[in-house]
């Protein structure tokens, strides 16, 4: 829809993209072609700057941070790769840093490339150490894009024909057990029932805060999940791939839930700062009993360049106090969006924790309105703001933590104008929204 508004150079690249890449949802065809990424901005092939509040969750410290680039370049020149059976000071320095930081007590570390690999390792560790092969996860969770990890999330359209089972997640609006307020012990009885009946579930995998719809668990919920897991010999695996590294106002999202000490934690995406794919699995030392099994025998398992990038990224986060500031910036964004919601009837409930922000787009009657959410995304892209639409109608903003208050304000102004344009046409009864290039 917005492609016709793009200049010739961009359209040619998009045509090549469709010609040579396999066509598939979310990847090809694309919306635009870019030639640069720096700080909070993408630059398209026409030289236009686009504020990136999507960034696939790799953008906590923004793009092309000079300190991280320098660390990568220095490591590339000295030791670009570490073959199997060897280690390096870069890899052990990162492992030691993760060991110190992580809320998994005395964690042992494994490194890989994408977080899907780390999630696969978590399932392998669970099977090898518990002797149980089953895994339970919550429907709608986001745990990766490989066949095994997509199936964990049970996202609509990803599990057709695979015969996988999931339990319902926390849902304040429509709790299956009619829980109310902060009490969600009732719906967790379903989880307990599944673990009891199956008897051989090795691991439960959960995002501490739902990343695709900003599902913030009430206090007591994850603590009860931990209790249920412990009493059934099931390991608790938390997936922080999309939300760690300060996104929620704490270094790790699980830190919002005192008393929860996961058996394993999966980290990725932001760890490599958009420069190098690196992920980590942190494991309780009691599970360090798999010596004969090559769980982590990947080609890039202890990449010195990946480790140098990750260490530099953590250093930037810590030096600039970006994590503490994310909470204040998040409150600022929330106030901006609440003001917009007063004037734009299509804006639905706002959910926010730190700089993980979601707001629904709904029909005047109150139901989610996917067509309007999509139109709003396109209208925003044309004005220079990128974000993600999840669950059909939830606009998800994950700004880089380095975004300044002025940047956040500029994004809200773009959204305001885009909302006005979309509302003018769709609320006036037009069937489709037409972009004005």
Chain positions contacting Zn ion, by CB under 5 A? 175, 179, 184, 187
* Residue whose CB is less far from Zn ion, 110 or 179: 179
**Nearer to Zn ion among residue 174 and residue 319 (C-beta):** 174
- Least CB distance from residue 267 to Zn ion, whole Å? 28
**Smaller CB separation from Zn ion, 91 or 214:** 214
CB of 256 to Zn ion, least distance (A): 18
At its nearest, how many Å lie between Zn ion and the CB of residue 269? 29
Q: Which is nearer to Zn ion, 31 or 177 (CB)?
A: 177
Question: Which of residues 120 and 187 has its CB atom nearest to Zn ion in the complex?
Answer: 187
Q: Which CB atom, from 73 or from 190, has the smaller least distance to Zn ion?
A: 190
The first and second tokens of residue 393, run together, are 């109608």
- Give the shortest CB-220-to-Zn ion separation in angstroms: 11
Minimum CB–partner distance for residue 221 and Zn ion (Å): 8
* Six-digit token string for 70: 């320098």
Greatest distance between any 2 Cα atoms in the chain? 67
Query: Taking the complex as a whole, how short is the minimal distance between the CB of residue 170 and Zn ion, in angstroms?
Result: 6
When the beta carbons of 187 and 201 are compared against Zn ion, the nearer one is 187
**Secondary structure of the chain in the HEC alphabet?**
CCHHHCCHHHHHHHHHHHHHCCCECCCECCCCCEEEEEECEEEECCCCEEEECCHHHCCCCCECCHHHHHHHHHHHHHCCCCCCCCCCHHHHHHHHHHHHHCCCCCCEEEEECCHHHHHHHHHHHHHHHHCCCEEEEECCCCCCCCHHHHHHHCCCCCCCCCCCCCECCCCCCCCCCCCCCCCCCCCHHHHHHHHHHHCCEEEEEECCEECCCCEECCCCHHHHHHHHHHHCCCEEEEECCCCCCCCCCCCCHHHHCCCCCCCEEEECHHHHCCCCCCEEEEECHHHCCCCCCCCCCCCCCCCHHHHHHHHHHHHHHHHCCHHHHHHHHHHHHHHHHHHHHHHCCCEEEEEEECCEEEEEEECCCCCECHHHHHHHHHHHHHHCEECEEECCCEEEECCCCCCCHHHHHHHHHHHHHHHHHHHHHHCCCCCCCCCCC
CB of 189 to Zn ion, least distance (A): 9
Q: Tell me whether residue 115 or residue 187 sits nearer to Zn ion (CB atom).
A: 187
Residue 334 Cβ vs Zn ion, minimum distance, rounded to whole Å: 25
Quick one: 5 or 183, whose CB is closer to Zn ion?
183
| Least Å from the CB of residue 135 to Zn ion | 22
């Amino acid at each position: 829809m917005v492609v016709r508004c793009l200049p010739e150079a961009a359209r040619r690249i998009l045509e090549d993209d469709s010609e040579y890449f396999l066509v598939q949802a979310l990847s090809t065809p694309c919306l635009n072609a870019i030639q640069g990424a720096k700080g909070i901005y993408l630059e398209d092939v026409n030289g236009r700057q686009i504020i990136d509040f999507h960034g696939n969750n790799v953008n906590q410290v923004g793009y092309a941070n000079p300190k991280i680039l320098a660390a990568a370049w220095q490591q590339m020149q000295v030791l670009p790769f570490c073959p199997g059976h060897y280690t390096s000071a870069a890899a052990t320095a990162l492992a030691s840093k993760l060991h110190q930081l992580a809320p998994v007590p005395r964690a042992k570390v494994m490194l890989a490339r994408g977080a899907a690999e780390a999630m696969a390792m978590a399932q392998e560790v669970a099977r090898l150490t518990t002797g149980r092969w089953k895994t339970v996860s919550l429907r709608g969770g986001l745990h990766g894009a490989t066949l095994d990890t997509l199936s964990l999330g049970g996202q609509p359209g990803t599990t057709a024909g695979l015969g996988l089972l999931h339990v319902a997640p926390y849902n304040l609006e429509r709790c299956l057990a009619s829980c109310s307020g902060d009490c969600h012990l009732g719906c967790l009885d379903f989880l307990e029932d599944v673990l009891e009946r199956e008897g051989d579930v090795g691991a439960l995998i959960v995002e501490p805060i739902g990343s695709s719809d900003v599902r913030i668990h009430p206090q007591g919920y994850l603590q009860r999940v931990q209790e249920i897991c412990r009493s059934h010999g099931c390991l608790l695996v938390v997936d922080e791939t999309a939300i760690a590294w300060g996104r929620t106002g704490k270094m790790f999202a699980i830190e919002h839930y005192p008393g929860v000490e996961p058996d394993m934690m999966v980290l990725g995406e932001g760890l490599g700062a958009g420069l190098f794919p690196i992920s980590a699995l942190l494991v309780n030392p009691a599970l360090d009993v798999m010596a004969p099994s090559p769980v982590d025998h990947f080609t890039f398992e202890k990449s010195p360049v990946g480790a140098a990038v990750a260490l530099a990224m953590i250093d930037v986060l810590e030096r600039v106090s970006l994590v503490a500031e994310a909470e204040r910036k998040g409150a600022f964004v929330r106030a901006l969006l609440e003001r917009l919601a007063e004037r734009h009837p299509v804006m639905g409930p706002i959910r926010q924790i730190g700089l993980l922000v979601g707001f629904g787009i709904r029909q005047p009657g109150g139901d989610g309105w996917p067509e309007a959410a999509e139109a709003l995304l396109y209208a925003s892209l044309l004005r220079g703001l990128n974000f993600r639409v999840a669950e059909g109608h939830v606009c998800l903003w994950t700004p880089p933590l380095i975004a300044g208050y002025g940047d956040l304000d500029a994004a809200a102004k773009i959204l305001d104008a885009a909302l006005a344009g979309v509302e003018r046409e769709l609320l006036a009864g037009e069937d489709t929204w037409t972009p004005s290039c």
